[in-house]
Amino acid sequence: MAGNPKYQGEKIIKDYGKLSFDYVPEVLVHREAQLQRLQTIFKPVLHGVRRTALLLGSVGTGKTVTAKRFCQNITSEGTLAGINITSLLINCREKRSEHAVLHAINSFFNPGCPDRGLAPEEFLRSIRRSLEERKLHMIIVLDEADEILRRGADDLIYVLTRFNEEFCQDYSLSLILISQRYLLDQLDKSALSTFCKANIVSFERYDAAELRDIVLSRIDLAFYPGTVEEECIDLIAESSADWGDARFAMELLETSALIAEERRLSGVTPECVREAKNMTCSDGSYETKLSKMDYNHKLVLLSICRSIGRSAYTTSIATENAYKIASEECKTAAKGTTTFWKYLKDLAKDGWIEQKVITDPNGSGGRTTCIYISDFPIGELRYIIEKEFNLTI
């Protein structure tokens, strides 16, 4: 796809497809180690032996794209080795139940198979038959797997990992789970026993220099030469480095370029990036949701974001402390603990946060509540609320 006719005269974006979220670059800079590790873990698949792995990391750390790249690579390797490998990525945010996932796998072989009426065992029989007939080694990628495990889909993981318990070289089913946080503790014992704990591949947040390289490599692929000013690349990298999120960097890059094209500029300027940042930060769907939230809940949400910072989660105690500090900064009296807990409950009910009771990590032996935010970019939420409250950003 070389150039969109609408913009042909502008010559900034050369290939829109290469800016799309679905695009899987040949080379993934700064993810060589993760790819290598996947290759090592899954090498036995080339000999007909199933494997499992868990990819772990926060939003925009390249988990999905790396899994896709890896699946394409191993399929090609399989072709060279004379072994039939295929893969299927299922997003558990879209397929939210065990039934929906099994239906999606079965539909891969039997498109048009009705959604209702089949029990899990029947789906599995049908999938097994399809693999057997085709002598196929399949890798199922369950993306955003925490979505489904939260709803208690241990059985699904169990049956998928037990799929070829009896060693069988003719066909196999391997599993990659992708999650923003460690979820093996959410599996029951039987599912856990079949899921090799050691096969965890971690995706750290990208730093500014890494994001710069990622942006640069995408510019080389998608833009006409010399159409993005150097400063823009730094600006995009720095803007997204707060939360180490390549997705945000990609979004900024694309939006800045579209702004430049709309303005009929000859290239992307830092002003385009700033405008894109403003649009991206303040126009998302969560922004609309956030704009309807009252002051007190926003203050608690801000405290949670600050308290989580760059970690995966925070505790209710740390959040309450952050809440007291934020209240002081905003010159409002902090509400008492009961009201604070009510706000937490409201935020959980509205899907902003998730809570889980664990043994106190500080070793007191007591129980404490962990708070996670997994559906929203924490950095952006924080940015929007702090801006609204006129706090130092």
Ligand X SMILES: Nc1ncnc2c1ncn2[C@@H]1O[C@H](COP(=O)(O)OP(=O)(O)O)[C@@H](O)[C@H]1O
Residue 385 in contact with residue 322, Cβ under 8 Å? no
The distance of closest approach from Cβ of residue 64 to Mg ion in the complex, given in angstroms and rounded to an integer, is 3
The distance of closest approach from Cβ of residue 19 to ligand X in the complex, given in angstroms and rounded to an integer, is 8
How many C-beta neighbours within 10 Å does residue 40 have? 11
Which CB sits closer to Mg ion, 56 or 105?
A: 56
Residue nearest to Mg ion (CB): 64
The binder of ligand X chosen from 50, 53, 60, 244 (CB under 6 A): 60
The binder of ligand X chosen from 41, 45, 59, 187 (CB under 6 A): 59
Phi, psi of 159 (to 5 degrees): -70, -35
Binding partner selected for residue 247 from ligand X, Mg ion, none, CB under the kind-specific 5 to 8 Å limit: ligand X
The distance of closest approach from Cβ of residue 355 to ligand X in the complex, given in angstroms and rounded to an integer, is 23
Asked if 69 interacts with ligand X (CB under 6 A), we say no
| Site for Mg ion, rule CB under 5 A | 64
**Would the CA dihedral through 188, 191, 194, 200 be positive or negative?**
negative
The binder of ligand X chosen from 10, 12, 14, 30 (CB under 6 A): 30
Give the 3-state secondary structure of the chain: CCCCHHHCCCCCECCHHHHCCCCCCCCCCCCHHHHHHHHHHHHHHHHCCCCEEEEEECCCCCHHHHHHHHHHHHHHHHHHHCCCEEEEEEECCCCCCHHHHHHHHHHHHCCCCCCCCCCHHHHHHHHHHHHHHHCCEEEEEEECCHHHHCCCCHHHHHHHHCCCCCCCCCCEEEEEEEECCCCHHHCCHHHHHHCCCCCEEEECCCCHHHHHHHHHHHHHHHECCCCECHHHHHHHHHHHHCCCCHHHHHHHHHHHHHHHHHCCCCCECHHHHHHHHHHHHHHCHHHHHHHCCCHHHHHHHHHHHHHHCCCCEEEHHHHHHHHHHHHHHCCCCCCCHHHHHHHHHHHHHCCCCEEEEEECCCCCCCEEEEEECCCCCHHHHHHHHHHHCCCCC
- Find residue 172's DSSP bridge partners: 137
The distance of closest approach from Cβ of residue 104 to Mg ion in the complex, given in angstroms and rounded to an integer, is 17
Which CB sits closer to ligand X, 201 or 246?
A: 246
Residues making up the binding site: 61-65, 206, 218
Name which of residues 153 to 192 contact ligand X (CB under 6 A). Answer: none
Amino acid at 31: R
Which CB sits closer to ligand X, 35 or 260?
A: 35
Residues making up the binding site for ATP: 61-65, 206, 218
- How far is it, in rounded angstroms, from Cα 347 to Cα 20? 32
Which CB sits closer to Mg ion, 179 or 296?
A: 179
Binding partner selected for residue 295 from Mg ion, ligand X, none, CB under the kind-specific 5 to 8 Å limit: none
Residue nearest to ligand X (CB): 62
Which CB sits closer to Mg ion, 179 or 269?
A: 179
Q: Mask of contacts with ligand X, 2-21, x by CB under 6 A? A: -------------------x
Asked if 244 interacts with ligand X (CB under 6 A), we say no
Binding region for ligand X (CB under 6 A) out of 55-63, 75-83, 92-100, 255-263 = 55-63
Asked if 63 interacts with ligand X (CB under 6 A), we say yes
Asked if 272 interacts with ligand X (CB under 6 A), we say no
Q: Which two tokens stand for residue 211?
A: 């994001």
The distance of closest approach from Cβ of residue 104 to ligand X in the complex, given in angstroms and rounded to an integer, is 18
The binder of ligand X chosen from 12, 13, 14, 29 (CB under 6 A): 29
The binder of ligand X chosen from 12, 13, 14, 31 (CB under 6 A): 31
Which CB sits closer to ligand X, 142 or 246?
A: 246
Asked if 308 interacts with ligand X (CB under 6 A), we say no
Q: How many residues bind ligand X (CB under 6 A)?
A: 19
Chain residues that interact with ligand X, rule: CB under 6 A:
21, 25, 28-31, 57, 59-65, 214, 217, 246-247, 250
